[in-house]
Structure 1
Amino acid sequence: MKEESDYRPGGRPLTGRTVLAMLAAFFGVMLLANFIMARQAIKTFSGLDTNNPYDTGLAYNSEIAAAKAQAALGWSVELTRTPGGSATQLTATVKDKAGQPVTGLDVSMHFFYPATSKFDREIVAGAVADGIYSGAAELPPGRWDVELNLKRNGERQFRSRNSLTIE
């Protein structure tokens, strides 16, 4: 039984060379797109987390010693956030091993926006009571990392890094 159809084969036949040319063109476009995107990614972000990674690596042992000295102090630091208008108020409560307030500190708070460094801010917190230090910063909404540095006579006594979400 023979079926009648309107289809009449025409044009060039699909050969192995044609299929090879189509595959080569497809993968060529994909490789070109990947090359362009990888080049842009490297150009816009070097992948370095610090400006001087070599120097940071050399200072690693001193950071370990500072962490041991910090642990030996036995201080407890509580960081609280109070939204207030356009600024975010942060309060650090510092107590020693015996639970007594620690006074006479220079307190700074460095705010890091994980996606880019252009929003980073640093504020100096002032003493509002014995062992209580407070400061305010205007921060856009998002997730932030806050590095709290407590110094006495210019020497770092305590450092902590905390996460903070601004809505």
Structure 2
Amino acid sequence: MPVDLTAPVRPRTAEPFRLSGRMVLATLIGFFLVVAGMNAVMMTIAISTMPGVDVKSAYETSQHYNGEIARMQEQAARGWTAEAGLRRSGADAILTLSLRDRAGAPVTGLSVTARLEHPATRREDRDAALSEAVAGTYGTRFLAVHGGGWTLAISARRGSETVFVSRSRIVLED
């Protein structure tokens, strides 16, 4: 059959877009997979940086509650005063603690420990034993401590008895 070259050529038009059921299903499944995947990533990051647990066993802690109240009452009855100072020394932090009895005399011969607790992660916590440099004045150095908010927990023992405990929020300047 002969081809008429003088006849106008009609452009071929593309078929209009049709949304099929399979396409809707694939889009919905893909959307929910992305949302669930991001939720899993964010939960993993959140739990690994802040487990949300202060004590390992709330039950065991509750069993020591009355004993802790009695220890705090004994500490208050002693009438001791404590002055703690945390200052910067390069990248380190130096802690000094002065303990005085009710009459103002230095409290000597204690085994003192301190814990610098980071508020967001336990990986940054630092423990140190304080040594008595001068009568009633104890000190230690925490290595490579960054600035910011911390909790300073101090515990002093005489023999096997805990005679002084203190917890304070502090800010260490850079």
Alignment TM-score, normalising by the size of structure 1: 0.74
Taking the TM superposition and a 5 Å limit, the aligned residue runs for 1:6-155 are 37=42, 41=46, 45-143=50-148, 144-155=150-161
Pairwise CA distance, 1:63:
1.1
Task: Give the counterpart letter for 1:156 in structure 2.
Answer: T
CA RMSD of aligned residues (A): 3.1
Contact 1:146 1:164 in 2 (8 A): no
What fraction of aligned residue pairs are identical, expressed as a percent?
A: 34
Higher gyration radius (CA): 2
Unpaired runs of 5+ residues, structure 2, are 1-15, 17-30
Q: Flag the 1:66–1:139 CA change in 2: closer, same or farther, 3 A.
A: farther
Unpaired runs of 5+ residues, structure 1, are 1-10, 12-25
Correspondence for 1:158:
164
Q: Flag the 1:50–1:100 CA change in 2: closer, same or farther, 3 A.
A: same
Pairwise CA distance, 1:85:
2.4
- Displacement over 6 Å in runs of 4+: 29-36
Separation (CA, whole Å) in 1 of partners of 2:56 and 2:165: 20
Aligned residues: 160
